[in-house]
Amino acid sequence: MASFLLVAGVVLLVVGAEGFVRGASRLATGLGISPLVVGLTVVALGTSAPEGAVSVGASLKGQPEMALGNVVGSNIFNVLLTLGLTALLTPLAVSSRLVRLDVPLGIGAATGVLLLAMDGTIGRVDGLALIGGLVAYTSLLLYEVRAGPEADTGQQPGTEQSKAPRWVWSGGLILGGLVLLVLGARWIVTGAVDLAQRLGVSELVIGLTIVAGGTSLPELATSVLAGIRGRREMAVGNVLGSNLINLLAVLSFSALVAPSGVPVPPSVLWFDLPVMIATAVACLPIFFTGQVVARWEGALFLGYYGAYMGYLLLAATQHDALSAFSTVMWGFVFPLTALTLLGASIREWWSKGQ
């Protein structure tokens, strides 16, 4: 029954997110907003709705560790697997705006969450602080839209896109998608808690792996399809926007509704949160090198996601290979990757200066 609820919940989340994204995207493009801004806002909000529904639902049901694991795991999943797989299928164009603004904001938000969690809990005051960051980020995006909207749809407000039937249809998709998201989230939380109890695995690990992967499927599907269809900036914007919303909105509301805040176990504080920050930092040199996420960089991201999942499984089972695995990753793989990215960034900077 637990497995059925998990699978059925994921299906409802994917279908609900698809309806939400389609409806919201039609409304946004009808207003003449650029694909990048749509990806950072409307699409990112829609694809983050599953994380929000699951995390807030878990906090209300007394499983705040699952809420935290879902947010952290989803952000790692979005960068390493979603962005990696999309770039592996088709190289992704990166706007200079992302390198200049959104990636640094993502790094700052992830670092801010780590600092707020240093006392072992993300409480209601911390949640309010994160909401303040969300308001500031949203205000910045709205200012950019009002200052210079870039229509990429070939339509202007007041044409066919804005006819009443289309608005009604888009509104119906948004409402129906939200209903399916809420129902799917309930099933996933119920099934995940039951599965964790049966397997003897902590709710945190379940949240970091199964739940995070399930709620991140909309981001994966949206970015892959956007990349294949040539909307490559939307694919990247979806990932970065979703990660910011997960930290500033999903985690903040989860902390506000949890009676005692969201507890942060030492394993998350000293491993998972630093990994999340590292994935955000890794985007900066990769995006900087030619403003393209190349196929080899996508393969690198996928390899790191496999290593992260391997570490979680070894740690959960206390396998004898855990120590050797950690030594190889921290002593060889990570330093070599850092040097490679640093060298590529220096070459790119040097070539631009010539």
302 Cβ contact partners less than 8 Å away, ≥ 6 residues apart: 80, 81, 84, 85, 88
Residue 166 has a pLDDT of 66
What kind and span of H or E run contains 224? Answer: helix 217-228
pLDDT in tens, 131-177: 999 899 888 877 766 665 444 444 444 444 445 566 677 777 777 87
Residue 99 has a pLDDT of 76
Residue 277 has a pLDDT of 92
What kind and span of H or E run contains 295? Answer: helix 295-317
Residue 156 has a pLDDT of 46
Confidence (pTM): 0.79
Residue 12 has a pLDDT of 79
Q: Are 9 and 181 in contact (CB under 8 A)?
A: no
The residue type of 333 is: V
pLDDT in tens, 82-98: 999 999 998 887 777 77
The neighbour count for residue 346, using CB atoms within 10 Å, is: 12
| Helices 44-60 & 232-245 angle (0-180, nearest 10) | 20
Domain ranges of the chain: 2-353
Strand ranges (E), the chain: 92-93, 121-122, 262-263, 292-293
Rounded-to-integer distance, Cα 208 and Cα 268, Å:
10
Residue 72 has a pLDDT of 93
CATH class of 2-353: mainly alpha
Residue 127 has a pLDDT of 92
DSSP state of 153: S
- Which residues in the chain come in under a pLDDT of 50? 149-162
Residue 67 has a pLDDT of 86
Whose structure tokens read 């979005």?
Answer: 78
